[in-house]
Structure 1
Amino acid sequence: MELSELHLNGRLFTWSNEREHPMLERIDRAFASIDWLDSFPSHWLRALSSNCSDHAPLLLQTCCVPWAKRRFRFESIWTKFDGFMDTVTEAWGFNLVNADPCRILDAKLRNIAKALKSWSAKFVGSIRLQLALAREIIFQLDAAQEERVLSMEELQLRKQLKFKCLGLASLSRTIARQRSRLLFLEAGDANTKFFHLQACHRSRKNYIQEISVNGAQISLEESKAEAFFHYFQEVFGQVFVRSHSLKFDQLGLRSVNLDGLDHCFSEEEVWSVVKELPDEKAPGPDGFTGLFYKYAWTVIKPDVLRVFNAFWSQDTRSLSLLNDAYLVLLKKKPDAAEIREFGPISLVHSMCKLITKVLSVRLAPKLNDLIHFNQSAFIKSRCIHDNFQAVQLACKYLHRKKVPAVFLKIDLARAFDSVDWSFLLELLEFWGFSRHWRDWISALLATSSTKVLLNGRPGNRICHARGLRQGDPLSPMLFVITVEALNGLITMADLNGFLTRLRCPTPICRALLYVDDLVVFVAPIRRDLLVLKCLLDIFEKESGLRTNLGKCSASPLRCSSEEVESVLQVLGCQLGSFPCMYLGVPLNLRKLKHCDEQFIVDKVAARIPKWKGNLLSLVGRLVLVKSTLSAIPVHVSIASCLSSWAVGAIDKLRRAFLWSGTAASVPGRCKVAWVRVCRPVQFGGLGITDLQLLGLALRVRWLWLQRTDHSKIWANLPQCFDNSVRGLFRAGTEVIIGDGNLALFWRTTGSMA
């Protein structure tokens, strides 16, 4: 029997020797079978007080999740039934008299939700109940034929029920797959129990049993909801009072052509965005997904376009009806207890999401010219690895040239949630965004509201007064625009001599930003540190974005102990060292050791569904290996070279899971040599990625970009590649000699143009 260990909530250890310097151990554990987990999906294991023993007793609760009223959610299986479009067409015919387009669309969405629920209950029904009933009737008929001959009607009924069971089982897998959120697996790649257990695991993982507020533990649902409401009311619902006013013309911000942003919305433009909407992503308060808009577009198109036309003409009287959201709380760590240890993600109303998606599609092409190259997030043609490459090359260059410097990693606390709207709108005005565009942004911000979704129950409404919702397609771009002002502040201080120039032959980029991750290189001089601290303080008082110096780190490069002490005294941050993590990749001045690469092996191992592997077919495990286990190391492989040891350890995990469904190999299960498995399908393999060759190909990309794109922020810094990378680059490229600006005839091989 395969057993799975139950997660212990709130505690790391269950035994202590109770001495002055105690020894702590996790001795007491609980295990359960797959069938038990299927029967009790909402269990909860916690440790009690060790009042009469040195062991903490474990309490297992099997009914800990309170009942929550089921919210409407569009089911993808509805589109497979006859009568779906008829129901949509009939329900959409409902209309309001003397109402604006936003109110009419809201009423129609509510009416169609009610109609689909009624239609589903009447004609679709409970799939699991129908399947169980059909199986029971077939079982009774099978038992009856052992005692007598079945009639023609009974034989025909059993035949029909068996056909129906096949269809119901397929629908049941589709529903369970949608609930599990494992959308990369097809419904036939795993059985229903796998998807069901995964959905139960997600529900149990996201369930918030209790929270800690000012040191007090709160477990009552009403008290938890009240605590979350008051916390986020202070975050979102309080107007930020600015105490400074920046002169944007002094910050060196770029001016670009912004024509076309406020043109009328066309049917083709809206439909092109609708086609790109994800089919099965978690819906907002209205419950509708992108799949509904695609299937019902011919019916709902006129009303949707009327809302767009009303929005363009700034008729936003009832926009608030379409601009609400649910705030989902995701744990930043497994045993999150404090409210600040939960990350808020907004599930925005589908119509508002469609509007902001159209606006973001318009704005995206402008960002490359608007934002300086030391910002890489959410801008087409730039990527996260540009930032990492620039930082890593700069650190190595400063270290090699023995230049004293401090590598500062700065954390912006609650970044998206703290943006001041008036600052953002003033910045947009300075940049030349039209009054029309700014009014649209203002309307979207001012009419936004949120309800905290706690264990499936929405709380009281919070009307926003500041901040950008994470989950809104437009929010990342607006945030990048906001922090460009901080980028300008640091650049201005550098150009005007307020920050000491680092004494290195090749200039390096002073600051690099990726969303809320800010990296700054400064000289270990007290004045420079005070200037940087002053700049961060000015930006906080102007934009609302606060720097959490307690979470920042300063890693010295060729600094004396006195300089390091001065840095910590001025900034009050943590002392960092190399290697350190930056953007999810270990940053080091030398070659990574095995212990530095262990995290990526552990990350792959953590994604293996060990005890659920047998519930996946071989095809399902192959899909999981390709889509997840092989994709995890890619981010690191682009930035740095994984050693043969790390690649071998990951291959061992992938091979074991593919053939046996576990994290450890079972002798005799591996049917084909791994080298052959990693071949392309057309050459007799399974198409699984060869990580060694993939890493080599990905690193060749840096040499190509160095030759072809001189706008990269790291292009002027010296790079060092191993011979295999340079050899592959030479073998795969040909240099055509032209004017001689790029190609040197004594270094490059090629042909004359």
Structure 2
Amino acid sequence: MNDQRLYLTEEPDIVNEFIRFFETLLGGHRRSHFLNIAYLRPWARHIITIYEGADLIRPVLRSEVKAVVFDIEEDKAPGLDGYSAFFIQLRGRRDFPPRYALKVDLRKAYDILEWDFVLAALKLFGFSPKMIAWIEECISSTAFSVALNGGLHGFFTGTRGLRQGDPMSPYLFVIAMEVLHLLLMQRADQSDSFHYHWHCKEEGVMPVRYLGLPLISSRLSATDCRPLLAKVDERIQGWGKLYLSFAARIQLIQSVLSTLNTYWAMAFILPKGIIMLIEARMRKFLRQGGTNSGMAKVAWRDICRPLEEGGQGIRALEPLNQGLMCRHLWDILQENHKSIWVTWIRTIA
């Protein structure tokens, strides 16, 4: 169906519609001059100095190229030829088996970023004309054909979009997003209707939540753990109406509640007060099927013993948390390069 809501059934019409769509998305007419966004400079926090600009366009030393190539992860393939860094680093060896590299292209959000805007942003942040010309040559030399049913159709040049897989594309996209930040700052400063609430004395960023966990810059506090307690209470209150047997409650604690706790325990050292509150809720649910209080007939430490020792096999949260934290230390000792934690530690060390 095309923009006029007409169904296309003939192959030439379908091919032309595909070409028209992608040519509209990626092509068009380029401006003959730079976009003028120099007025945003007063809001720019970071401007390239003369020395930094000169350093960007100086000749690259052979030792620098070698250092960068040998610092790339072995399974990365930065070049157009598809050869991995492992192949380049060990090119003198003859004792490794044959292998091949498979690269998968994924579409990114910066496919429609206009090149003229990128070049204007580079000029705004103080990049030298020579550096800008180099970058323009890299991003503006693309042409496209549409692959449809095994054949290539059409051929057109683009005026927008950053190539996925190009090592330079993420940096150019970040620069473009910085311009958006400057525009927002400018509008906020110049608008009479935009004001902070009088209780807001400073900007706040942390904590935020990612994948259900708080991102914080300090030790985890009891306040940060409120969502975990709320999740445990929510599950227990829902189960309290089901008149579950003792065996069923044991199974739910092992398979559901322990999983919730483990997810947090893998990322943080949980406060002891929070551990006590969580285990208190688990004890009450095990005894009565809810969160009501009652007299414990067996000590919780005995319930947490293995089955062969007379317990119920429920894992105590504090030693579990300590064991999961040791995993991060083990990754550091083993220099696990796939771990973001290890990479961060090596960066700040």
TM-score normalised by L of structure 1: 0.23
TM-score normalised by L of structure 2: 0.47
